[in-house]
Amino acid sequence: MKSLQLDIEDPVAIRTFAAEAAAQFPALNVLINNAGIMRPEKLLAQQPDLADAEAMVTTNLLGPIRLTAVLLPQLQKQPSSAVINVSSGLAFLPLAITPTYCATKAAIHSYTLSLRYQLRATTTEVLELVPPYVATDLMSGASDPRAMPLGAFIVEVMKILKTQPTPPEICVENVKSLRFAAESGKFSAIFEGLNAAMADVH
C-alpha cells in the first residue's frame, strides 16, 4: 500500500494529483470519494462569510466531482473499474444541526445517480456507500455509544461488496431506517426523533 497526498479543496492540486497517480499506478481502477467534513451550523447566528458552509461544499461535493472528472479517463482505460461515492444516511433524512453537510451528501447521491446512468454503457461501475452514524472523529462521534462501531460497519460493508452483482447502493442494516424513511411513510416521525436525540451530539 502506498499513499499520495492532495488538497481536495484545490482544483490545481487535484489535477496534479491525478496525473501523478496515473503515472505511478497505471493499473489504477478504483476511486473511492471518501473525504468529508461535517460542522454544526447555527443558522440564526451564522457568520456572513459562510466559511464553514463553503468549506463543506468544496470538500464534500466539489472535491469528489473534480476528482472523478480528472481520474475518469484513467479508469476508462482499464478492462473494468469502479467509482464509489460516499454519501450518508443524512442525504435522505437530514440532521438539522448540520444543514450544509446533509445538503452536500444529498447532492452526492443525485450526482452518483447521473454518473451511473451516463457510464451505464462503459466498463466503469458506479456505486454509492451510504453510511449510518458511525463511531469516527467526524462531529466527535468516536465515543458516542449510539454510533455504529467502525469495525462492525467495515465488516458489513465488505460482505455486501462481495455479493454479485454488487448493489448500486451499499446500505448496512443500521442505515436503512434513514435511507428508506420516505418510502416507509415514517419520514416525519423519524426526522423528529433523530433531531431530538442528536441535539446534544456537539
Residues catalogued as catalytic: 101
DSSP for 40-92 reads ---GGG--TT-HHHHHHHIIIIIHHHHHHHHHHHHHHTSSSEEEEEE--GGGT
| Cβ–Cβ under 8 Å, residues 67 and 16 | no
**Angle, CA 199 vertex, CA 101 and CA 151 arms, to 5°:** 65
The DSSP 8-state label assigned to residue 123 in this structure reads S
Cβ neighbours of residue 30 closer than 8 Å, sequence gap 6 or more? 81, 82, 83, 84
Q: CA-CA distance, 39 to 7, in Å (whole number)?
A: 19
